[in-house]
Amino acid sequence: MKRNHTDRNCSVACALFLALALLLTVAAQAQQINKHYNPAPFAKQEVLRYSVHYSFIRLGSIELRQRAVTKEGRSCGEVRLIARTASGVPFINLDMKETALLLREDPRCMDFRVEKSDDIERTRHYRYDEKSGTFSVEEKEKGKAIEKKSRQESRRCFDAMGFLMYLRGLAGSGVRETVPTLMDFEIVDTRMACHREQEEMDVDAFDDDVMTYRTSLSAGWEDESVGGMQGDIEVWCLASGSAIPVYAEIDLALGSIDIELEKYSRKDMPAAVSEAKRQGGAGSSGSAGSRGGVDSKGGAR
């Protein structure tokens, strides 16, 4: 009887050990970058300019810039977004800049700054210390610190710029993944589906149609709506290693916002465009100008 009791204890101990090992393995996998992620979209220098429209109204412009930098002896990519409203747009006065320092092989949040200059100049600076697992944010108004917060955070997340580069790196991969995303000082889930099918598109920035991959995003935010956004976003990226975003459609409570590439500058751009055009020879699921149910200018079909 004693021996059987010992065997039972050993069995329970082994089961607990295996369960713990399984949980640790799952946790470790959740902390890793998807194996299909390709860092090729990072560039030494890149400038992308977009128009932003609501129906036929031009709301403003977005500029995406990236360059290679070095921080604390590590090679990083500095990715910056600059958004401004067009002159004459009523009730909206947006002048925002978001800047992230990212590692090519792991574009999760480590240094992210948000600057807004509408009525009052405000800055939020997020930092993640991988060694200590400390996540912090410092908020400044007119250059003076008004709030500092920090916490222990074992879960890594993506800031807006890191998420964009991760999305580009997975374009066309067929991956479906729930991505931990930074919103204010919280971590929320964003569901991402990277479709394998190619779609041929007419984009303002190019003389000819180009082949693209579509990625669908759906927010797992608690109320499923932030600032009128329903959390459903479609992004089309060039079907090449650069995976440059060429078009995006963002659902609102009423209508949608369309973002389209107008100008671009990237050292490998001619090769990237040629590659995207060649992809058309392999066949595609969409026709020229097709954007999953919207025409070449984002209107309802």
Average confidence (pLDDT) over 104-132: 90
CA 181-182-185 angle, to 5 degrees, is 150
Least confident of 38-47, 111-120, 179-188, 291-300: 291-300
Please say if the pLDDT value at position 129 is more than 80. Answer: yes
| pLDDT > 80? residue 120 | no
The predicted structure's pLDDT at residue 295: 32
Average pLDDT, the chain: 80
Is residue 93's pLDDT more than 90?
no
212-244 pLDDT, tens digit each: 999 999 976 555 444 344 568 999 999 999 999
Q: How far apart are CA 82 and CA 165, in angstroms?
A: 16
Which residues sit opposite 131 in a β-bridge? none
Given a cut of 50, whether residue 28 has pLDDT beyond it is no
CA count, 13 A, side-chain hemisphere, 37: 20
Place of tokens 């590590």: 74
- pTM for this one? 0.79
Q: What is the pLDDT of residues 240-284, one digit of tens each?
A: 999 999 999 998 877 889 999 999 999 877 666 667 766 665 544
Residue 11 has pLDDT above 70, yes or no: no
**Contacting residues for 10 by C-beta, under 8 A, at least 6 apart:** none
**Largest Cα–Cα separation, the chain:** 87
Provide the residue type at 110 as one letter: M
Confidence (pLDDT) at 292: 37
